Amino acid sequence: FYSPGHQYNSIIKASNMNSLSITNTTVANNFGLLSTPFSTSTIACDTSSLTVLNTIFYNPNLQSEIEGINVNVQYSNVRGGYAGIGNIDADPMFISPGDYRLQILSPCINSGTLEGAPLTDIEGNPRPMPIGTNPDMGAYEDDDPSTSIQESTTNKNNIVVTPNPSSGTVLLQNIS
């Protein structure tokens, strides 16, 4: 996105708006016009207030992911890093260059926050999966039926296994 009169060459430009919110979105593998004299970024925000939550910005071919002022980023994966609660800077480990679902070992899985997250992902899958965890960063919620074990918050002598029923071997060991 190129806007004459502004020093931005960006994919998303927030300008002259009261506020803008980007939640559980994936913006990845975009190419900038590096031959232009303008900076190339994923997000350019000049006079607007921008809130980014549970989002992945991973565009290695751009100079930067976020430029501007009034930007609040939380629980997001921003290539190159960005200050904010719960943010990470890591390879999101997409399934493939054109498939932006997350591999099972992705650092973005269960790394988002429930506060402000939608109830479903871009495909209509419930968020979070498994129930009782945090949602994933990005547009897709991992639907792998991995087993998670949590201590019960109401009774410390009980545990919760999700999903239930579970398949495979689950080893529980009490170490005192």
**Range of weakest confidence among 10-14, 34-38, 160-164:** 34-38
pLDDT: which is higher, 168 or 27: 27
pLDDT: which is higher, 172 or 6: 172
Is residue 11 within 8 A of residue 42, CB to CB? The reply is: yes
pLDDT at 37: 46
Angstrom CA distances, 115 to 74, 119, 134, stand at 11, 11, 10
At 22 the three-state DSSP class reads strand
Whole-angstrom distance, CA of residue 135 vs CA of residue 110: 5
CA 92 distance to own-chain centroid: 9
Please state the pTM of the whole predicted model.
0.72
Residue 128's pLDDT band, with cuts at 50, 70 and 90, is very high
